Amino acid sequence: MRKGYSNQLRLDSVPIEQVTLNLESRDRIVPVLRALQHVYCNRIRLGALRPKDR
């Protein structure tokens, strides 16, 4: 079951748009996180990725 997501920022959190990722790292997760950050920051595309209701 999906949980709701609050759009309101907390005082102790960094906005996703401002998170810096070490692109020189050899970890495989960094490109995945960068792609997710890109999709999140471009919310118009996010709507295009959602499945359509039947």
pLDDT tens digit sequence for 24-47: 999 999 999 999 898 888 876 666
Phi-psi region of 42 (alpha: psi -120 to 50; beta: other; left: phi over 0): beta
Residue 47, classed as helix, strand or coil, is helix
Question: For residues 39 and 45, what is the distance between their CA atoms, to the nearest angstrom?
Answer: 7
Q: Of 8, 17, 9, nearest to 40 (Cα)?
A: 17
- Of 24 and 14, the one with more pLDDT: 24
Higher pLDDT, 30 or 50: 30
Q: Positive or negative CA dihedral for 7, 42, 29, 26?
A: negative
Percentage of the chain modeled with pLDDT above 90: 30
